[in-house]
Amino acid sequence: MVKIGIVGAAGYTGYELVSMFARHAAAEIVFATSSSNAGQRMSDIYACPFDTPLIDPANASLDSADVVFLCTPHGASATWAKQVLGAGARCIDLSADLRIRDLRVYEKWYQTHTAPELLPRAVYGLTEIYRDAVAGADLVANPGCYPTGPILGLAPLLRAGIVRGDRIIIDAASGVSGAGATPSATVHFVSVHDNYSAYKPGHTHRHVPEIEQELSAAAGTPWRIVFTPHLLPVSRGILSTIYVDLDPAWDLAHILRALEEAYAGETFVHVLPAGKLASLAHVVNTNRCAISVVSAGAPGEWIIVTALDNLVKGAAGQALQNMNVMFGLEETMGLIA
Amino acid sequence: MVKIGIVGAAGYTGYELVSMFARHAAAEIVFATSSSNAGQRMSDIYACPFDTPLIDPANASLDSADVVFLCTPHGASATWAKQVLGAGARCIDLSADLRIRDLRVYEKWYQTHTAPELLPRAVYGLTEIYRDAVAGADLVANPGCYPTGPILGLAPLLRAGIVRGDRIIIDAASGVSGAGATPSATVHFVSVHDNYSAYKPGHTHRHVPEIEQELSAAAGTPWRIVFTPHLLPVSRGILSTIYVDLDPAWDLAHILRALEEAYAGETFVHVLPAGKLASLAHVVNTNRCAISVVSAGAPGEWIIVTALDNLVKGAAGQALQNMNVMFGLEETMGLIA
Amino acid sequence: MVKIGIVGAAGYTGYELVSMFARHAAAEIVFATSSSNAGQRMSDIYACPFDTPLIDPANASLDSADVVFLCTPHGASATWAKQVLGAGARCIDLSADLRIRDLRVYEKWYQTHTAPELLPRAVYGLTEIYRDAVAGADLVANPGCYPTGPILGLAPLLRAGIVRGDRIIIDAASGVSGAGATPSATVHFVSVHDNYSAYKPGHTHRHVPEIEQELSAAAGTPWRIVFTPHLLPVSRGILSTIYVDLDPAWDLAHILRALEEAYAGETFVHVLPAGKLASLAHVVNTNRCAISVVSAGAPGEWIIVTALDNLVKGAAGQALQNMNVMFGLEETMGLIA
Amino acid sequence: MVKIGIVGAAGYTGYELVSMFARHAAAEIVFATSSSNAGQRMSDIYACPFDTPLIDPANASLDSADVVFLCTPHGASATWAKQVLGAGARCIDLSADLRIRDLRVYEKWYQTHTAPELLPRAVYGLTEIYRDAVAGADLVANPGCYPTGPILGLAPLLRAGIVRGDRIIIDAASGVSGAGATPSATVHFVSVHDNYSAYKPGHTHRHVPEIEQELSAAAGTPWRIVFTPHLLPVSRGILSTIYVDLDPAWDLAHILRALEEAYAGETFVHVLPAGKLASLAHVVNTNRCAISVVSAGAPGEWIIVTALDNLVKGAAGQALQNMNVMFGLEETMGLIA
């Protein structure tokens, strides 16, 4: 049994991990921490039968775990990662601290980095793209919820060198769990229900540099995006509607074939056949990412629609998928495909 | 023009009042206060075109208003009411402070009363029942959101002396705006959406003594209720499903006739014909209260279903209705019937 | 591998079964039928990766299956059950056709029975109550969605002989999937969203005789209920708020202990501790039934709140649970506890 | 009193008109037709207190009305319009039949036109743009729900000649009432709730030629759009997120000033100040259109977000606004601003 520690377990991704490990045959939680809910059990915070005790982070025996999941905010995570690695455990960080390879970019979009020496050691955990590196990693930077879909949908086309134009427009919509469990006016039921609104539009959301980093890595040249997230009146799910120009010589069959080949044998990436569009219904409560392609109406103009569950493939599910890879387990254990 | 003051205008009932006065032909807001949002405009807090400035309560010129609406919490409201009356304005209090006529009952369910001397002066503002008293009042205690429907549905039957048994069971469900605008884990979108839950069940919710007071007043003898509120994943509306035993000699036509006669000529109370059940769709965004009756299956056993919008007929709309009555205006002004 | 047939697989319960069997390690679907969608695959109807072909019912080789699940409407199911048993397969019927043991009661509430000779052979598949009989059955009548919660919540108290009064009031609320997948004005998004409404109130819903049958069986004497279902603006889940009088000598601890003892060792029935109330959040997307108890405010007056997912513990999940029992498999296989 | 006829009154736009006329001081409904619900009253179909009888269309006395609103499908509307005008009444058509000025374009996107001779007589009823023509019209083609927002948001910029590039990308999301009241699998509550999906993407939705016609008219040169509508899990509202390149010499203040000047004095068009983004919450249940502008991150790249209620400013509200203009009434009568 792989021994699991979870730091910051009282948030949505921590709860999702606890739910998944309740169904995982080869792992067991040895500790779960919460600074604000220490002394309670998971079932005191969420309507669930999980009696997992939440302990004070100061009391966590990091060395009792084989791997520690960090569900802590950026800024705090890098410091925790250093301690976890120092205690001899492997580490999967769900924050942004170790996702951005260029320290200057991180510090421009976030803040002063608390452990920049870890950056070269961290593997970006988009499993389908970096599986080999994840397998050998002791430190994984789990991708952001918004980046995962567009990167999976665009990387094969960027690698093929067929993307044209000077920018890619990503119009995305997320369920409210993406904003976290902390109460605020923004996530009050009455604010969100019956509403739909854009926020941090254009080039201002912190997932922009992460997406640009990975699209550029796939292309081998820098790529710029325009990115407009919207808040949906649903709890879970992200749909990204991506406007992209491609080499006009490529038709729909050609484009779909490139995606299918890129994800042949993948359990969790579903390239939909021509005529179908990805929707939240394809993915919610599963670790799937659905990818679909349709003409935008003129030669070379395309719309790529991707969908995933922000808490699963966009966070805890992908983290567990990475753990399964790191420990040589079946990649689907504990996950719904 | 009636000059309006609103204290505590940044909450949902305050916003509702501001929206309604924007459509009211014979009233104008002279001040609106908010302790936490002073210096902002309504359009800074809510997505709306209302530029009403929110001022510090300390700066409110109470005597510039003909009537002041108190959207302040219980405890604070009674003190405000004293000041408003002292300044020569009339006062409509949307809190519970002046609804309970028996001081001991108030202090058992709430707290030490801050202005018990006002209790004899306050008129309980359930307009259809106390219209004459409201017309002459300078102090109105606007009813609670849960009580209004069951009282309107049951009072004519209690007055007729046909209610049997030892208790009335009221199973009610409310939209989230009933919990107020203050952020908390309870009203987080993810907590409420796709959920349905009971809270403060049995004989524990603070609207219990208010309902019992008015049912007892209608009957002329004490009545006891069992009351289970539930939280619905909607923003607005309260449905009450009421289980009551009546004199078996009364059939459906007889019962409906008693209700229709009680509310003949009323614009806002709709007694539905036999075969129709009140639902939130009948009432949301209006000042209506819909009342329906159906057999519970055995002689003398009945189900009364009432519906209203908790922010309108259950709060701000009824407050405005009372104001229209107090100032001799057409009772429907600014309201949707 | 247990070989599975599904008749009427294109509805919600059929889809739920297909989803669960995709995760079941010891069963495989050998056929799935749909009269209206024959020739399509499950992924043509629902947003999912399941390529299960839907065949014309006339082409189903009943004898190729070890067990056939009937997701057909009442009336049609009994005839199918006869054919399935005749072909040598076992049968789990999700319709009402074989739930009511008294033919006259069935024919009063439903219609002329098409296979009354099967009634003595059918086992009512509320697993926690009839597990031994289910284990030896070749014909299981899977319980209705509404009955499962109230029966589980009340049976131990009725068996203990402590229920008082002349009726039990069950106020219930269900998600829209309970109404089935057939489009109608009633299930149009705009009709349900932001709405909440009662339907078939009192003693008119077809689940009334099923609930009364099982409550009476537990008590050993006839029991009558008042039952008011409501339509909730959610897709899944049923909450039942039950008003019941008990022997005043029993306090909360005593009542809870009776329930805990009744369900000791059960994986899927969760008796919540004092102070907690069951909600949809406890159960949706799982095979759980949550049960909670709270005082109604006066001695001997209690409120029991039960919750379950109408498509899982209220239909397909309980059917699979029964199948696991019938075939000697681990009872939790394919199910989320 | 203006005498009103409504043809096709049982759909959502017909119901919306009936609701609005209940609050209109200078108009009264003289007939409302429904082919499928003839003989019923509005309150039989919708949860409302409106007893408006629905008559068979064959029994409508067109000449008893001063103006007839056509809530009939495209194809049928043009034929009705001919009859209405022939009977001497004015006509406001809410279908697409008379919106497209170029017959060939109409017949390419829709079908053979049944009354092409009316096209030159019809005024496109986007009130803020064509008010003078509407005032003198006897035949108004009321705009589509999707087109109204993008046209209002872009027309002033196109007229100013500052739009650059070869296409404008409009990513839009609509509430379910936009799909009409006819039941189908697509609008089943369970299909829409918790879901979000794109449909008719790129250059395939029938509102594309209407939007292109009006953008081109404003610009004086042909404009092409890419348009992706999405289905939102809400009942009402359309948000359009528009990606457009403008002359890099124009900064935000300059752009906003152009919009503010274009809509100075308009009651229903709200240009939001810098830093605010339009959302459904700004507009639902009102006749407002909110317009906002924000940088897309690079010089000359902008995002315009517009919002309106598809049933009000996007349909019945704008139709009533046009009627008020046509009859010389105050433009806001019966409408919420």
- Site from D176, D190, D194 to mutate, A interface, most A CB atoms within 10 angstroms: D194
pLDDT confidence band for B43 (50 / 70 / 90) = very high
Identify the closest residue of chain D to B271 by CA–CA distance. Answer: D49
CB burial readout A155-188, b (16+ within 10 A) else e: bbbbbbebbeeebbbbbbbbbbbbbebebeeebb
Which of B48, B194, B281 lies at the smallest CB-CB distance from D47?
A: B281
pLDDT in tens, D1-50: 999 999 999 999 999 999 999 999 999 999 999 999 999 999 999 999 99
Q: What mean pLDDT comes out for the span A34-47?
A: 97
Q: Are residues D117 and D153 in the same domain?
A: no
Residues from chain D that touch C189, judged by Cβ atoms under 8 A, are 176, 187-189, 191-193, 233, 235
Residues of A that are catalytic: 145
Count of Cβ atoms closer than 10 Å to residue A294 Cβ: 22
ipTM exceeds 0.85: yes
Q: Of the candidates C127, C131, C17, which has an alpha carbon nearest to the alpha carbon of residue C67?
A: C17
User: Under 8 Å CB-to-CB from B310, ≥6 apart: which residues?
Assistant: B145, B146, B174, B175, B177, B178, B236, B237, B238
Span D277-285, mean pLDDT? 98
pLDDT digits (tens, 9 = 90+) for A285-311: 999 999 999 999 999 999 999 999 999
pLDDT digits (tens, 9 = 90+) for C153-165: 999 999 999 999 9
Contacts of D337 (CB under 8 A, 6+ apart): B22, B49, D267, D268, D286, D287, D288
Mean pLDDT in chain B?
98
Q: How far apart are CA B310 and CA B240, in angstroms?
A: 12
Cα angle D44-D47-D48, degrees, rounded to a multiple of 5? 90
Asked if residue C42 lies in contact with residue C19, where contact means CB atoms within 8 angstroms, the answer is no
DSSP string, D174-222: E-GGGG-SS--GGGBHHHHTT--EE-STTTTSTHHHHHHHHHHHHHTS-
Residue in chain D closest to B332 (alpha carbons) equals D23
DSSP letter for C316, please: I
CB–CB of C243 and B243 under 8 A? yes
Whether residue B77 sits in one domain with residue B158: no
**Six token digits for residue C114:** 């098409």
- Whether this prediction's pTM lies above 0.90 is answered by yes
Question: How far from A250 is each of A157, A242, A272, D167, D169, CA to CA, in Å?
Answer: 11, 17, 18, 21, 21
CA angle C14, C12, C47 (to 5 degrees): 95
Q: What local confidence, expressed as pLDDT, does residue B172 receive?
A: 98
Chains that contact C by 3+ CB pairs under 8 Å?
Answer: A, B, D
Nearest 5 degrees, angle CA B307-CA B309-CA B310?
105
Provide the β-strand partners of residue A242. Answer: A170, A304
**Chain B residues whose beta carbon lies within 8 Å of the beta carbon of residue A10:** none
CB–CB of A282 and C337 under 8 A? no
Residues of chain C with Cβ-Cβ distance to A194 below 8 Å are 194
Domain boundary among B84, B104, B121: B121
- The CATH number that applies at residue C83 is 3.40.50.720
Give D171's contacts in chain A (Cβ within 8 Å). Answer: 171, 228, 241, 243
Whether residue D336 is contained in a domain is answered as no
The pLDDT tens digits of the residues spanning A249-281 come to 999 999 999 999 999 999 999 999 999 999 999
Extended strands (E) in chain B? 2-7, 27-32, 67-70, 90-93, 123-124, 139-141, 163-174, 197-198, 225-231, 238-246, 269-271, 289-295, 301-308
CB contact under 8 A, D298 and A194: no
* Residue owning tokens 């603070």: B206
Q: Do C107 and C157 sit in the same domain of this protein?
A: no
Q: Which of C23, C49, C281 sits opposite A47 (nearest CB)?
A: C281
Q: What is the pLDDT of residues D212-243, one digit of tens each?
A: 999 999 999 999 999 999 999 999 999 999 99
A-chain CB neighbours of D309 within 8 Å are none
Are A163 and A297 within one domain? yes
| Residue D335: inside a domain | no
Q: Are D310 and D260 in contact (CB under 8 A)?
A: no
List the single residue in D with minimal CA-CA distance to B282. D47
Which of A227, A259, A230 is CA-nearest to residue D230?
A230
The answer to whether D312 touches D5, Cβ cutoff 8 Å, is no
DSSP C212-262: HHHHHHHHTS---EEEEEEE-SSSS-EEEEEEEEE-TT--HHHHHHHHHHH
CA C143 to chain centre: 4
CB-CB contact of D96 with D208 (8 Å): no
Residue type present at position D160: A
Residue A23, Cβ density class (10 Å: 0-12 exposed, 13-18 middle, ≥19 buried): middle
Do C85 and C49 share a structural domain? yes
Q: Are C226 and B243 in contact (CB under 8 A)?
A: yes
State the catalytic residues of C.
145
Q: Is D87 exposed, middle or buried (0-12, 13-18, 19+ CB in 10 A)?
A: middle
DSSP codes, D91-111: EEE-SSTTT-SSHHHHHHHS-
User: Distance between CA atoms of D289 and D313, rounded to whole angstroms?
Assistant: 7
Instruction: Report if residue B130 sits inside a domain.
Output: no
Contact (CB, 8 A) for D96 and D147: no
The distance of D176 to chain C (nearest Cα, Å) reads 7
Residues of C in contact with D310 (CB under 8 A): none
Q: What is the pLDDT along chain C (337 residues), one digit of tens a residue?
A: 999 999 999 999 999 999 999 999 999 999 999 999 999 999 999 999 999 999 999 999 999 999 999 999 999 999 999 999 999 999 999 999 999 999 999 999 999 999 999 999 999 999 999 999 999 999 999 999 999 999 999 999 999 999 999 999 999 999 999 999 999 999 999 999 999 999 999 999 999 999 999 999 999 999 999 999 999 999 999 999 999 999 999 999 999 999 999 999 999 999 999 999 999 999 999 999 999 999 999 999 999 999 999 999 999 999 999 999 999 999 999 999 9
Tokens of D208: 């594309």
Q: Based on the fold, state whether residues A160 and A288 are members of the same structural domain.
A: yes
Question: Which of the listed residues A121, A155, A179 is the one where a domain comes to its end?
Answer: A121
Name the residue of chain D whose CA is nearest to C47's CA.
Answer: D191
Q: Which domain holds residue B19?
A: 2-121
Q: Are residues A93 and A162 in the same domain?
A: no
Q: Please report whether residue A336 resides in a domain.
A: no
Instruction: Please name the residues in contact with A143: beta carbons below 8 A apart, sequence gap of 6 or more.
Output: A99, A124, A125, A126, A151, A210, A314, A318
- For B329, D13, D41, D144, D167, the CA distances from D94, given in Å and listed in that order, are 38, 8, 22, 8, 28
What residues are paired with B171 via a beta bridge? B228, B241
Percent of chain D with pLDDT over 70: 100
Instruction: Work out the minimum CA distance from A244 to partner chain B, whole angstroms.
Output: 33
Number of domains in chain D: 2
Beta strand D197-198 with D225-231: parallel, antiparallel or unpaired? antiparallel
User: Is C226 in Cβ contact with B243 (below 8 Å)?
Assistant: yes
With beta carbons less than 8 A apart as the criterion, state whether A164 and A245 touch: yes
Is C39 in the same domain as C181? no
CB C211 within 8 A of CB C150: yes
Please name the residues between 9 and 68 in chain C that touch chain A, using a CB distance below 8 Å.
Answer: 22-23, 46-49
Please work out, in degrees rounded to the nearest 5, the angle formed at the alpha carbon of residue B74 by the alpha carbons of B70 and B78: 65
**Mean pLDDT score, D303-322:** 98
Q: How far is B266 from chain C (nearest CA, A)?
A: 24
Rounded-to-integer distance, Cα B242 and Cα B245, Å:
10
Tell me the average pLDDT across B262-288: 98
The answer, for C194 touching chain B at a CB cutoff of 8 Å, is yes
Q: What H or E segment, with its residue span, contains residue D68? A: strand D67-70
- Strand arrangement of the beta sheet that strand D123-124 belongs to: D27-32, D2-7, D67-70, D90-93, D139-141, D123-124
Nearest CB to D23: which of B48, B194, B336? B336
Claim to verify: residue D171 and residue D101 sit in the same structural domain: no
At residue D317's C-alpha, the angle toward residues D313 and D321, to 5°, is: 105
Percentage of chain D surpassing pLDDT 90? 100
Query: Which chains does chain A touch, 3 or more C-beta pairs < 8 A?
Result: B, C, D
Contacts of C181 in chain D (CB under 8 A): 185, 188, 190
Q: Mutation test of the interface with chain A: which of C19, C42, C48, C336, choosing the one with the most A Cβ atoms within 10 A?
A: C48
Q: Across the interface, do B235 and A183 touch by the CB < 8 Å criterion? A: no
Least CB–CB distance from D193: residue in C12, C185, C189: C189
What is the band of D148 on the pLDDT scale with cuts at 50, 70, 90? very high
CATH number of D241's domain = 3.30.360.10
The pairing of strands A301-308 and A238-246 is antiparallel
Q: Among partner residues A177, A185, A189, which is closest to B192 by beta-carbon distance? A: A189
Q: Between A167, A241, A284, which is nearest D198 by CB?
A: A241
Q: Which residue of A has its CA nearest to C286?
A: A48
Measure CB to CB from residue A177 to each of B12, B183, B190 and give the nearest one: B190
Residues in chain B: 337
Residues A266 and A188 in one domain: yes
Of chain A residues 255-314, which have a CB less than 8 A from chain D? 277-281, 284, 294-298, 301, 303, 305
Among residues C174, C152, C144, the alpha carbon closest in space to that of C293 is found at C152
Chain D residues inside the 8 Å CB shell of C190 = 12, 176-177, 181, 187, 235
Whole-number average pLDDT of chain A: 98
CA distance linking residue C150 with residue C172, whole number of Å: 9
Contacts of B44 in chain A (CB under 8 A): none
For residue D101, name the pLDDT band (cuts at 50, 70, 90). Answer: very high
Does the distance separating the beta carbons of D234 and A195 come in below 8 Å? yes
- Interatomic CA distance for residues B8 and B32, integer angstroms: 7
Token representation of residue B228: 């289970």
Q: SS3 of A66, please?
A: coil
**C185: which chain D residues are within 8 Å (Cβ-Cβ)?**
181, 183
Work out the burial of residue A206: count CB atoms within 10 Å of its CB; fewer than 13 is exposed, 13-18 middle, 19 or more buried: middle
- DSSP, res B279: B
Is residue B328 included in any domain, yes or no? Answer: no
Cα four-point dihedral sign A30, A35, A40, A42:
negative
Distance from CA of A189 to the nearest CA of B (A): 4
Tell me which of D48, D71, D91, D145 is the catalytic residue. Answer: D145
Segment B27-38 shows an average pLDDT of 97
Same structural domain, A188 and A50: no
- Residue B95: both structure tokens together: 């809190």
Residue from the list C195, C236, C239 with its beta carbon closest to the beta carbon of B280: C195
**Residue of A164, A194, A203, A238 to mutate for D, most D C-beta atoms under 10 A:** A194
Neighbours of A25 (CB within 10 A): 10
Residue A95 inside a domain? The answer is yes
Q: What is the largest CA-CA distance in chain B?
A: 62
HSE of B315, CA atoms in CB hemisphere, 13 A: 28
Number of other residues whose CB lies within 10 A of the CB of residue B92: 30
User: Is residue D319 one of the residues assigned to a domain?
Assistant: no
Domain limit, last residue, from C53, C87, C121: C121
Q: Identify whether C38 is part of a domain.
A: yes
- Verify that C228 and C261 share a domain, yes or no: yes
Task: Write down the pLDDT at residue D26.
Answer: 98
Q: Tell me the longest C-alpha to C-alpha distance in chain D.
A: 62
